[in-house]
Amino acid sequence: MILEYVHRKLGEEVTALAGFYAIVKELRLEHGGREILCLIGICSVDSSCCGRRAFYYAIVPGYLLSWKSKENAEGLPISEVEPVTDEVTKREIAATLEETEVIMKPNIEFW
């Protein structure tokens, strides 16, 4: 399955119900002879009844099939990805992100 990832401006805050989030880094990781797109973001919960919290997270759209090869109607670049489905590979990628980006496993999401 091929999915499209629309690249947003790094650091652009998106307001959410209890705070905001923003993608702060795009990584292209080599793994098993293929390149994987990983996004690092920060989330700040600053207006909830349960107190404040900020944390980093990672989203892994998948294997890069094309890098910013086209644009959407708003002029934002689009990359094509293939989701990672193998559980062993997911664990290996999560371990790499935990080591290199100091992101805890519960905060790593795969498409």
**Chain mean pLDDT for the chain:** 92
| End-to-end CA separation in angstroms for the chain | 11
What does the domain layout of the chain look like in residue ranges?
3-110
35-79 pLDDT per residue, tens:
999 999 999 887 666 667 788 999 999 999 999 999 999 999 999
- CA separation for the pair 38, 10 (Å, rounded): 13
Global pTM reads 0.88
Taking residue 47's Cβ as centre, other Cβ atoms within 10 Å add up to: 12
